[in-house]
Amino acid sequence: MSTSNPGPEPKHDHFLRALIREDLRTGRHQGRVATRFPPEPNGYLHIGHAKSICLNFGLAEEFGGSCNLRFDDTNPVTEEVEYVEAIANDVRWLGFSYGERPLFGSDSFGLMFELAKKLIREGKAYVCALNEEEIRAYRGTLQEPGRPSPWRDRPVDESLRLFDEMNEGKHPEGSLVLRAKIDMAASNMKMRDPLLYRIKRAAHHRTGTAWNVYPMYDYAHPLEDAVERITHSICTLEFENNRELYDWVIRETAYPWVPRQYEFARLNLDYTITSKRKLLQLVEKKLVNGWDDPRMPTIAGMRRRGYTPEAVRSFCELIGVAKNNSVVDIGKLEFAVRDDMNRRAPRVMAVLRPLRVTLTNVPEGETEWLEGPYFPADVPEGAAMGGRKIPLSRDVFIEADDFREAPSKDYLRLAPGRVVRLRYGYCVRCEGVTRDAEGRVVGVTATLLRETLGGAAPAGEKVWGVLHWVSAAHALEAEVRVYDRLFAAARPDAYEDFTRALNPRSLEVISGARVEPSVAADGGIARYQFERVGYFYRDPVDCKEDRLVFNKIVGLKETAVADLKPLDDAAPVEALAAKSSKSETRPAGRTRAQLRQLARDNTPVLNEKRAHFERHYGLSSDESDLVTASLSTVGLVEEAIAAGAAAKSVARWVINELPRELGERDVSETKLVGAALGALIVKADDGTLTATVARALLATLVRDGGDVSALIAREGGRLDAAALDEIVTEVLGANADKVAQYRAGKTALVGFFVGQVMKAAKGKAEASAVQGAVQRALG
């Protein structure tokens, strides 16, 4: 079915979209956008991967670029073709295409090997004979530098020969590795001579036994990106530390294409785990029924559950992309699924737990065929689908939960003496109950109110609700699998043993459900809404011609009804969470203040300057601290003061205004000189320049340098009162709606008006004057 509704996606710009837009604008990569989704074929894809897939393929789609599906298959011992096929299938199912066939990192093994030899020849890599434990010991710790491997300066020829021998199978696994020669004292552990290659005598799922050495991720990945001429290599936050090494590999191999890596926050969902390892455990310990168990957060599981690709994609759009570690409310996924289902799932009636209602005034053996549309009027997309016939006879089933002998007032369903409507049919009045020997209610008797077909209300009687129902004689029996969230705790990962957080009631198999007969004759519609119950999917594996099996996709949204709250609804066992956070916050390293002091201690004249600034210029201790961390800053300040500017003002500008213009640069890397800064400050202080213009000129000076008085002649000046009033009138006129809001009490809008006027005046108005003029004009 086509969905005309675009769904909830006013696509806002997340940081990657903004970044690509900027790259396109500045012409990086000749305006190309090439991304990739690079799974390792060692497990099934899950909802977290879906986010990444939607991001990578989505970005490519949006900007007219391309996205490759590439298997990062550098570790033959964990990887299998089964996973390759499942993953490719999942990507296609989500609706993305990746060209003729997927790509493989292993396709570039030859190139990687040659480039590794090049690194060796250039003295940038060496074969190391330390064992695993020794390498770890030599690497040092987070706080302490590492020590160089004794093999670090092994002659190039020897490394070359050994590397070849490693690949020829002349050395056992673990005996030798190829390492990059970078920096054993690097504060980034990834740069302490990282491993490039290790020996693995395992058959690779694609290259067989052709290789005895396999590249490590950090070496292989950037080259795979480069080979594919990827422009934006997007990965998750935990790879931020790897970026430096990524850039090193591209730079040192001198590969003639420079991809760049960007990181975003991986998806975390509450009541869910998205760890391949843990997912694998669930499957292996048979705590679920395979990778495609409908309770699993795998793409295969969601597919089997009945989710559509559109729903999953809409969810991924809904949650956004950022760098915050966050945990998304599972309710958002359910919202996306319901929203999708509401528009696509035809309505039929099914009773999960049947309760027999005998309509005593309907003759036995009589059948009336009623009509029911597949969609309600408020889903116009479904109008074309028409409807189906629904049989009514003397005995019908209603949901056991839809009858109470002693109902509360907000229970809007059947009870003795009450009238309800059987959906698409008649109203009925409950006359009595029938019981078994133990006194349990096993049925209800009711009379059918003939005149109420087609919506007519029974004379003088309240209709308590509308119930779904099926004709007992015609209904089909079905098995219905009702799924609940797999975990009872919001954060299963917080448990020492995450399987203890499993929800014992995540699956309930209902075997005696009854479904209206139309489902056997509608050509096998895949997804229905069982009215008033939820959305259901014909199980693609177990549902057969002669055996109906439905999976619950998701329930209808329910507004709370006190009378229906299950009494034994155990609270999630949150209390067990015991595992302390894996990496407790560590003591901070050097603070910036310490760094500045360190710089001064290394260059003693700076310490003198600091004292001097305090004594002679009256700067506060903090101010003089902040402007004496480098010689270039000190020089700038002194020159500015020499040019006649007040020391206090200079400090203020250097501390508060300059950093914005500088960014990461040092003053010496810009065109700004102290004399110009001083001249600028003088003009700002004496009122020649408005604050806004002065700030704009600072930006100009940093960027282009130049003569201050010439710049002032060009950019300076200030509006007189009449010109200002004119602009104010103009701005207010153009924003009549805001003016009305302001007068209605939204005084925060003053800032908006001032801002607009400042903009229109190009800064040539003093803010206080503008404020006054605006206030006067607004009354």
Residues 595-654 touching RNA, rule: CB under 7 A, are: 596, 622, 626, 652
Q: Select the span of 298-306, 422-430, 599-607, 698-706 touching RNA (CB under 7 A).
A: 422-430
Q: Could you say which of 179, 276, 485, 527 is catalytic?
A: 276
- Applying CB under 7 A, which of residues 1, 203, 383, 691 lies at the interface with RNA? 691
Is residue 4 at the binding interface for RNA, with CB under 7 A as the rule?
no
Long-range contacts from 553-556, C-beta under 8 angstroms, 24+ separation: 553/305, 553/306, 553/307, 553/337, 553/341, 553/527, 554/334, 554/337, 554/338, 554/341, 556/338, 556/529, 556/532
Token readout for 238 is 């935990």
User: Which of 274, 529, 628, 700 is close enough to bind RNA by CB under 7 A?
Assistant: 529
Span from 25-33, 286-294, 464-472, 544-552 in contact with RNA (CB under 7 A): 464-472
- CB of 355 closer than 8 Å to CB of 414: no
Nearer to RNA by Cβ, of 521 and 562: the residue is: 562
- The smaller minimum CB distance to RNA, of residues 95 and 320, is found at 320
Which DSSP symbol is given to 287?
A: S
Stretch that binds RNA, among 371-379, 469-477, 667-675, 714-722 (CB under 7 A): 371-379
Is residue 179 annotated as a catalytic residue, yes or no? no
| Interatomic CA distance for residues 683 and 694, integer angstroms | 8
Q: Binding residue for RNA (CB under 7 A) from 156, 160, 186, 599?
A: 186
DSSP state of 204: B
- Contact flag: residue 713 with RNA (CB under 7 A): no
Q: Which range touches RNA (CB under 7 A), out of 129-137, 386-394, 438-446, 714-722? A: 129-137
Q: Is 188 in the site for RNA (CB under 7 A)?
A: yes
Q: Binders of RNA among 276-315, rule CB under 7 A? A: none
Q: How far is the CB of 749 from RNA (least distance, A)?
A: 5
Could you tell me which stretch among 50-58, 115-123, 297-305, 554-562 binds RNA (CB under 7 A)? 554-562
Instruction: Catalytic residue, from 17, 266, 323, 356: name it.
Output: 266
Residue 77's φ and ψ, nearest 5 degrees, are: -75, -20
For RNA, the closer CB: 338 or 481:
338
* Choice from 410, 496, 669, 704 touching RNA (CB under 7 A): 410
Please pick, from the candidates 558, 568, 664, 720, the single residue that binds RNA as defined by CB under 7 A.
558
Map residues 152-181 to x or -, x wherever contact with RNA holds by CB under 7 A: ---------------------xxx-x----
Which residues in 579-598 contact RNA (CB under 7 A)?
581-593, 596
Contacts of the segment 285-291: beta carbons below 8 A, 24+ positions apart:
285/499, 287/499, 287/502, 288/486, 291/44, 291/86
Instruction: Give dist(CA 705, CA 697) in Å, integer.
Output: 10
Residue among 422 and 549 whose Cβ is closer to RNA: 422
Q: How far is the CB of 262 from RNA (least distance, A)?
A: 11
Decide if residue 666 touches RNA (CB under 7 A): no
User: Is 276 a residue of the active site?
Assistant: yes
- Report 489-528 residues binding RNA (CB under 7 A): none
Return the number of the residue (30 or 559) whose C-beta is nearest RNA: 559
User: Using CB under 7 A, which of 210, 322, 570, 740 touches RNA?
Assistant: 322
- Give the SS3 label for residue 288: coil
Residue range at the interface with RNA (CB under 7 A); choices 137-145, 286-294, 544-552, 726-734 = 137-145
In the complex, the smallest distance separating the C-beta of residue 491 from RNA, rounded to whole angstroms, is 11
Beta strands in 286-373 (DSSP E): 347-348, 350-351, 354-359, 368-373
Query: What is the distance between the alpha carbons of residues 712 and 676, in angstroms, rounded to a whole number?
Result: 12
Which one among 218, 225, 516, 638 touches RNA, defined by CB under 7 A? 218
Residue 371 is encoded by which pair of tokens?
């009509």
Tokens linked to 494: 């917080």
What residues numbered 67-96 form the site for RNA, per CB under 7 A?
72, 74-75, 78
Least distance to RNA, CB of residue 129, Å: 8
CA 227-229-231 angle, to 5 degrees, is 135
Residue carrying structure tokens 């690497």: 139
- Give the residue from 321, 320, 303, 304 showing the smallest Cα distance to 312: 303
Q: How far is the CB of 346 from RNA (least distance, A)?
A: 9
Which pair of structure tokens corresponds to residue 37? Answer: 């989704």
- ∠ CA(504), CA(507), CA(512), 5° rounding? 130
Cα–Cα distance between 614 and 624 in angstroms, integer? Answer: 6
By the 10 Å C-beta count (0-12 exposed, 13-18 middle, 19+ buried), 494 is classed as middle
Q: Is 577 exposed, middle or buried (0-12, 13-18, 19+ CB in 10 A)?
A: middle
Smallest gap, in angstroms, from Cβ of residue 11 to RNA?
Answer: 11
Residue 752: CB minimum distance to RNA, A: 4
Phi/psi of residue 704, nearest 5 degrees: -120, -10
User: Three-class SS string for 381-442?
Assistant: HHHHHCEEEEEECCEEEEEHHHECCCCCCCCCCECCCCEEEECCCCEEEEEEEEECCCCCEE
Tell me, yes or no, if 266 is annotated catalytic: yes
Q: Indicate which single residue of 145, 150, 155, 386 sits in contact with RNA (rule: CB under 7 A).
A: 145
**Neighbouring-strand partners of residue 445:** 358, 432
Does 217 help bind RNA (rule: CB under 7 A)?
A: yes
Q: Do the bridges between strand 232-236 and strand 260-264 make them parallel or antiparallel, or are there none, so unpaired?
A: parallel
Binding of RNA by 265 (CB under 7 A) = yes
Q: How far is the CB of 534 from RNA (least distance, A)?
A: 9
Backbone angles phi, psi at 487, to 5 degrees: -115, 145
- Nearer to RNA by Cβ, of 115 and 199: the residue is 199
For residue 295, what are the contacts with CB-CB under 8 A and spacing of at least 6? 288, 301, 305, 483, 485, 486, 506, 507
Chosen residue from 247, 368, 395, 563 binding RNA by CB under 7 A: 563
Nearer to RNA, 612 or 695 (CB): 695
Of 247-255, 331-339, 435-443, 630-638: span binding RNA (CB under 7 A): 331-339
Nearer to RNA, 140 or 635 (CB): 140
Among 280, 287, 453, 599, contact with RNA (rule: CB under 7 A): 453
Beta-strand relationship, 125-128 and 476-483: unpaired
Gap between the Cα atoms of 402 and 570, Å rounded: 23
**559 near RNA, judged by CB under 7 A:** yes
Residues 6+ apart with CB under 8 A from 399: 351, 352, 353, 354, 355, 467, 468, 532, 533
Residues 732-771 interacting with RNA (rule: CB under 7 A): 738, 741, 746, 748-749, 751-752, 754-756, 758-759, 767-768, 770-771
Judged by CB, which is closer to RNA: 443, or 465?
465
Contact call for residues 719 and 761 (beta carbons, < 8 A): yes
Catalytic residue among 32, 40, 124, 152: 40
Q: Should residue 15 be labelled a site residue for RNA when binding is judged by CB under 7 A? A: yes
When the beta carbons of 392 and 502 are compared against RNA, the nearer one is 392
Task: Find the binder of RNA among 692, 697, 701, 739 (CB under 7 A).
Answer: 692
What is the nearest approach in angstroms of RNA to the Cβ of residue 544?
27
Among 2, 30, 144, 439, binds RNA (CB under 7 A): 144
Q: Under rule CB under 7 A, how many of the chain's residues touch RNA? A: 141
Among 323, 356, 612, 718, binds RNA (CB under 7 A): 323
Structure tokens at 758: 């400042």
- Residues annotated as catalytic are 40, 266, 276
